[in-house]
Amino acid sequence: MTNSYKKSNTHCSDCSTKTCFVQQFCVTTWVGIINQSRNHSLYKKGQHIFREGDRVFGLYFIQRGKVKVVSTGLNGREQIVRLAADGHILGHRGFGSETYPVGAVAMEDTQVCFLDNATLEDVFINNPKFTYGLMMFYSTELRKTEVRLRCLAQMTLREKIAESLLTLKKIFGVNEEDGTLNVTLSRQEMADIAGTTAEQVTRELTNFENELLITKQGKKIVLLNADGLFNIIATHNVNKYFAV
C-alpha cells in the first residue's frame, strides 16, 4: 500500500491519453493547474488502487492500463461490475459519499492520475464543461450497467459468456493481426464478469471452440467469429449496447 506517488514526466497537455477528461473538458489554463495538483502513480498487476470501504479522497484517471471494478459478496465471491481502460475514470462511485462501495484492481501494470477532492471542487466551479462531461459519463455508464443488469438476470450461462467475450472485445479490443483479445484473464475472472463459476466458463469456452467461434491459445482467446457470438445473444435486444 505504500505506493510511490510521484510527478509524471509528461505534462497533462502533452499526455498521449487524448480521451482524458482533463484534456477534453478543461480550459487551457486549468490543464496547467491540474497538471500541478495531480499525483501520478503506477500500480502493478493485481494491486488494489482502492478497496471497498476505503475513504474517498478524490478521483482517479487511468492514463494507461486495464482495471476491474469489483463488488465483493457472499464468502468473498467477486462480481466484476465494470471494466476500465485508458482515459476512463475510477472512484467516482463513492464520490461525494464517504467510502467506496466497490474496489478497483489493476489487471495489468497500470498508470493512473489522481485528483483530490479540494482540487476537484475548484475544477467543477471553473470548468462547467468538465462537470457536464462527468455527468454524461455517469449517464452512459448507468445505461450500460442497466443493460448488463438485465443480461445477468435473463440470459442463460451460454449467453452470458458470449456476452462477456463481446464486452471484452469492445472495451479492450483485439489484436489486428491474429484476432486475440487484448486482455488476459483467468477463468475465475471471466466467471466474475459473467456471474457464474470458473468450471462453467471452461465448459462453455470448450463448446465455443468446438463450434469454431473461438480458439484458446493458452490464456489468450481468439475471437474467430464475433458475429456468431453475437447471434447467440441477438434475441436479447442488446443491439444498441454493442453497436458503437
CB 163 within 8 A of CB 144: no
CA angle (177 as vertex; 241, 172 as ends), nearest 5: 35
- For position 5 contacting a second copy by CB under 8 A, the verdict is no
Query: Closest Cα partner for 102 from 82, 87, 84?
Result: 82
- For position 27 contacting a second copy by CB under 8 A, the verdict is no
| Burial label, 156 (beta-carbon count in 10 A; 0-12, 13-18, 19+) | exposed
Residue with grid cell 445505461, as numbered in its chain: 143
CB of 44 to a second copy, least distance (A): 25
- For position 231 contacting a second copy by CB under 8 A, the verdict is no
The separation between CA 229 and the C-alpha centre of its own chain, rounded to angstroms, equals 21
- Which ranges constitute the DSSP H helices of the chain? 21-25, 28-37, 117-126, 128-154, 157-172, 187-194, 198-210, 226-233, 239-242
- For position 157 contacting a second copy by CB under 8 A, the verdict is no
- For position 131 contacting a second copy by CB under 8 A, the verdict is yes
- Beta carbon nearer to DNA, 33 or 157: 157
- For position 38 contacting a second copy by CB under 8 A, the verdict is no
CB of 219 to DNA, least distance (A): 5
Residue with grid cell 477463468, as numbered in its chain: 187
* Interacting residues with DNA (CB under 7 A): 156-158, 186-188, 195-203, 205-206, 216, 218-219
CA angle (142 as vertex; 141, 143 as ends), nearest 5: 90
CB of 139 to DNA, least distance (A): 30
Residues 43-102 that bind a second copy (CB under 8 A): 52, 71-75, 77, 79, 81-82, 92-97, 99, 101-102
Give the residue, chosen from 153, 177, 210, 243, that forms a contact with a second copy under the rule CB under 8 A: 153
Query: Closest Cα partner for 170 from 72, 58, 83?
Result: 83
Binding-site ranges for a second copy (CB under 8 A): 52, 71-75, 77, 79, 81-82, 92-97, 99, 101-102, 124-125, 128, 131-132, 134-136, 138-143, 145-154, 195, 235-237, 240-241
